[in-house]
Structure 1
C-alpha cells in the first residue's frame, strides 16, 4: 500500500512540473513577445510568432490621404507620427 501512495505522489509531482514548465515556455515564447509587439503598435501573428510593421495603403499606392484628420487618425492607429512640414521655398 505504501509503494502505491509513493508512486502516485511522484506521478502528480511530475505532472505538476510538466504543467509549470509548459506555462513558463508559453509565457516566455508567446505572451511576452506579443505584449511587446502590441505595445509598439505592430501586428502580432500567433501562428508564426512574427511581429509585423503595419503599412498604410497610401504608402503602397503613392496616393495621399486628402483629409488631414483622417490621415492623422490612420498614422496614430499604426503608431507613426505625422510627417514634418516641408520647409518654405525661397
Structure 2
C-alpha cells in the first residue's frame, strides 16, 4: 500500500470510528510547501461534519479530532462549524 492509499484508508477508518463525514482533506506542512526533509512526516488536515443530531445537542462536545502519529502520518481535523469560526477570526493555522 502506497502512502496515498494509507492516508485514504486512515481517513475512511476515522469516518467510521467517529461517525463523521470528511468533506475536505489536504496535506499541510513541509511537504505541501515543497521543502520536505528525509525525516518529514505527512501532515494531513481535514474538515468534517457530524450528523444533524450532533449539532442540535445542548451539550458541549469536542470539535477536533487529533490522531496519534502513526508511522509518518500526522492527521488532525476540525468540525466544519469550528473551522468556519476560525476562518471568521482570520486564524492563521486554518
TM-score range normalised by the length of the shorter chain: under 0.3
- Structure exhibiting the larger radius of gyration computed from Cα positions: 1
**TM-score, normalization: structure 2?**
0.27
**TM-score, normalization: structure 1?**
0.28
Greater relative contact order: 1 or 2 (C-alpha under 8 angstroms, separation 6 or more)?
A: 2
